[in-house]
């Protein structure tokens, strides 16, 4: 085990050996293994956005096995997906890549101003499939945030008791926020803090903008002159919000972007700001496989410090 991975594990002193072992599995696997950085392939979009919207751009992606193969060939640290996609390939690819079971999901069949998610997987499912972790989405700012927080806390407690790691998608959204506020620097920082307080080992957030949503927060940012002018400065601030960098913070790959240079600039900003990596879904599997492998490889080179 590298000194960096050993250091990261030391931040989770309340956890049992099982959870620490599974967290180490994620950190030690793939091309970035041992560096303390992560690139994870998540594929929950079939449930979240619908199959045609998710996979028609690259039809082989309709097949759940395609995503296992992509994550393995790219050298990702892990592959995350809902129950059905993992069940469709977990036996064929057993032991080849750490798995993360996405344990709640939502759809877009209703236009809800206050989104929520339903439980779609369990700790027992994760153990049966050989997963290293469970994943869970919360929506700070939604009228249903309290229910989601309570569900996460209970699921995290059970997962840790059974020796699994916990990955939290913390996405501000709902009637309590403006659209611009969903990626505001103060709100993303708050979302990272909430996920850490609820027991996440790994926290996934969106890249923040320089917008400040809450007036009370604006006064503090301005009075303390918190640097948020550049993307790297904003990443550094969000890292600080996750227990001063003592929780693993990774960033969403975002909506589909056809320009590789735009994505690579985002990865460079994450790396420069001290972020721990990226979780890249649509911008991976919606590309033809060769292009996806090239993009993921370049992302890993950036996080490894070789590009």
User: Residue 33 half-sphere exposure, CB side, CA atoms within 13 Å?
Assistant: 15
Q: Which is the catalytic residue, given 160, 204, 206, 225?
A: 204
Contacts of residue 290, Cβ cutoff 8 Å, sequence gap at least 6: none
pLDDT of residue 171: 98
pLDDT of residue 35: 98
SS3 letters across the chain: CCHHHHHHHHCCCCCCHHHHHHHHHHHHCCCCCCCCCEEEEECCHHHHHCHHHHHCCCHHHHCHHHHHHHHHHHCCCEEEECHHHHHCCCCCCCCCCCEEEECEECCCCCCCCCCCCEECCCHHHHHHCCCCEEEEEECCCCCCHHHHHHHHHHHHHHHHHCCCEEEEEECCCCCCCCCHHHHCHHHHHHHHHHHHHCCCCEEEECCCCCCCCCHHHHHHHHHCCCCCCCHHHHHHHHHHHCCCCCCEEEEECCCCCCCHHHHHHHHHHHHHCCCCEEECCHHHHCCCHHHHHHHHHHHHHHHHCCC
pLDDT of residue 254: 84
Tokens of 144: 């249903």
Would the CA dihedral through 97, 155, 169, 13 be positive or negative? negative
CA distance 26 to 99: 9
CB 86 within 8 A of CB 99: yes
In 3D space, the residue among 290, 189, 279, 190 whose CA is nearest the CA of residue 235 turns out to be 189
Per-block average pLDDT, block size 10, for the chain (307 residues)?
Answer: 98 97 98 98 96 97 98 98 98 98 95 94 98 98 98 98 98 97 98 98 98 98 98 98 98 89 97 98 97 98 95
- Answer yes or no: 204 catalytic: yes
Contacts of residue 252, Cβ cutoff 8 Å, sequence gap at least 6: 204, 205, 206, 207, 278, 279
Domain boundaries defined on the chain: 3-304
Query: Which CATH class for the 3-304 domain?
Result: alpha beta
């Amino acid at each position: 085990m590298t000194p960096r991975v050993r250091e990261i594990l030391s931040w989770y002193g309340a956890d049992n050996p099982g959870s620490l072992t599974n967290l180490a599995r994620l950190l030690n696997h793939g091309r970035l293994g041992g560096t303390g950085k992560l690139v994870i392939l998540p594929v929950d979009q079939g449930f979240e956005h619908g199959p045609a919207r998710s996979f028609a751009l690259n039809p082989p992606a309709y097949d759940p096995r395609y995503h296992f193969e992509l994550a393995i060939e790219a050298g990702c640290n892990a592959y995350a997906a809902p129950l059905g996609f993992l069940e469709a390939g977990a036996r064929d690819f057993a032991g080849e890549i750490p798995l993360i079971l996405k344990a709640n999901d939502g759809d877009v069949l209703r236009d809800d101003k206050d989104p929520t998610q339903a439980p779609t997987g369990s700790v027992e499912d994760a153990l049966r499939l050989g997963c290293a972790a469970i994943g869970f989405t919360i929506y700070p700012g939604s009228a249903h945030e309290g229910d989601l927080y309570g569900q996460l806390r209970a699921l995290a407690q059970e997962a840790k008791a059974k020796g699994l790691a916990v990955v939290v998608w913390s996405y501000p959204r709902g009637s309590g926020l403006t659209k611009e506020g969903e990626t505001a620097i103060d709100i993303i920082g708050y979302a990272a803090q909430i996920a850490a307080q609820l027991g996440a080992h790994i926290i996934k957030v969106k890249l923040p903008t320089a917008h400040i949503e809450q007036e009370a927060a604006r006064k503090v940012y301005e009075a303390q002159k918190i640097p948020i002018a550049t993307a790297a400065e904003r990443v550094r601030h969000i890292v600080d919000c996750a227990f001063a960098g003592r929780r693993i913070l990774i960033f969403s790959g975002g909506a589909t972007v056809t320009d590789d240079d735009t994505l690579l600039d985002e990865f460079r900003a994450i790396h420069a700001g001290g972020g721990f990596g990226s979780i890249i879904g649509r911008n991976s599997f919606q590309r033809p496989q060769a292009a996806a492998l090239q993009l993921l490889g370049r992302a890993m080179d950036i996080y490894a410090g070789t590009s």
